[in-house]
Amino acid sequence: MTNEDVIINLSQQLEAAAERIKELAEGITAMHEVRPMVCENYESFLLDEVAHVQILALDLTQVVTEGDADNVDEAFGPGELTDVLGEDEPDGPPGEEDE
């Protein structure tokens, strides 16, 4: 499976999950006054779908940033989060300048 295929598949899953979220939200709105107990179930389903979207979005981010469909364990390149800031940065609080 190519990287493009993975991106397309994840995007299609995100689209389907977004449609389910929309339908659940509409169901909650429609039944809020009439059947509050049913709304609680719908809200639970809605939160599950939101969690599903978050996982899919992370997977998509990993695939896009890594560029390798076989290795989706890292969302950032080597050193991107661990690089030491350069010496050009001032030591004092913002707004203070050396005289």
Q: How does pLDDT run across 20-79, given as a tens digit for each residue?
A: 999 999 988 888 888 878 888 889 999 999 999 999 999 999 998 886 545 544 445 555
Question: Does residue 87 belong to any structural domain of this protein?
Answer: no
pLDDT of amino acid 35: 85
State the total domains in the chain.
Answer: 1
pLDDT of amino acid 59: 93
Question: Does residue 89 belong to any structural domain of this protein?
Answer: no
Question: Does residue 33 belong to any structural domain of this protein?
Answer: yes
Domain assignment of residue 59, given as a range: 3-65
Torsion of CA 26, 29, 33, 35, to 10 degrees: 40
Question: Does residue 24 belong to any structural domain of this protein?
Answer: yes
Question: Does residue 20 belong to any structural domain of this protein?
Answer: yes
Question: Does residue 26 belong to any structural domain of this protein?
Answer: yes
pLDDT of amino acid 69: 46
Gap between the Cα atoms of 5 and 64, Å rounded: 12
